[in-house]
Amino acid sequence: MPSVVALIPARSGSTRVADKNAKPLGGHPLMAYAIAGARASGIFDAVICSTDTGRLARIAHHYGAEIPFLRPAEFATSTSPDIEWVDDLLKRLKAEGRTYDCFSILRPTSPFRTAETTKRAWSEFLAEEGVDSLRAVEKVTQHPGKMWVVRGKRMLPLMPLAPAAQPWHSTQMAALPELYVQNASLEIAWSRVVFDGLNIAGVTVMPFFTDEAEGFDINNQYDWDYAEAAVAQGKFKLPKISEMPFIDHK
């Protein structure tokens, strides 16, 4: 069985939802659910949080994640690509004699991803030969066939690939080709794609189809309010957490 490490990214500095990773949802910081789900899945050889602050590191440690070192500030900006912190983390672990065949990125912004979700993804990934990575996707709700590029007072269809007699922008949704969009629920990849190709997905990517809750991603205040309402109404369930709620004694 290949070894695999869970990577929980939790940088500071969120602006659309202030202090998002530490913000309480259902009684615990948002990031706690990613850690709890990863641990409960039972598939990971290690669960490591990549963060740039001591406070978030204390939260991660409280819920059972490792923080072998803090993320360098230059890899923790709002525009930092994932490959920077993943490459840095895996290389620093390797320098300490810790290597893993695979890694999985489990983002705190998908709090309704369960241990079963992750186990299902891992099983599907292992069963598929010849792939570099797996990425969570869901069916699009806004089809790119009906999207436009605006240039001044003129528009061009984003996808001008339909017959001229029946352009996609004038086609019923049910008749458009089925398309999927990635979500932030999870990614799994062979570590070689980082070490050899310096990216987190490689070339050959397989889909992992998520349901509404599994693929739900908190990006802004509207998403946060929806998540709170979904929990309160019992629509979505959060992973169970055995630890007491985190209290920062500083």
The predicted structure's pLDDT at residue 134:
98
Q: What is the predicted pLDDT for the residue at 250? A: 61
pLDDT of residue 76: 93
Q: How many CB atoms lie within 10 A of CB 146?
A: 16
pLDDT at 167: 86
- The ranges of the chain with pLDDT < 70 are 161-163, 249-250
pLDDT at 159: 85
Residue 198 exposure: Cα atoms within 13 Å on the Cβ side: 1
Specify the CATH architecture of the domain 4-138+181-232. Answer: Alpha-Beta Complex (3.90)
The structural domains of the chain, with segments of one domain joined by +, span 4-138+181-232, 141-178
User: Which pLDDT value is given to residue 139?
Assistant: 94
- pLDDT at res. 193: 97
Find tokens 């072998």 and name the residue: 68
Model pTM score: 0.93
Q: Give the pLDDT confidence score for residue 168 in this predicted structure.
A: 86
pLDDT in tens, 67-101: 999 999 999 998 999 999 999 999 999 999 999 99
pLDDT at 150: 97
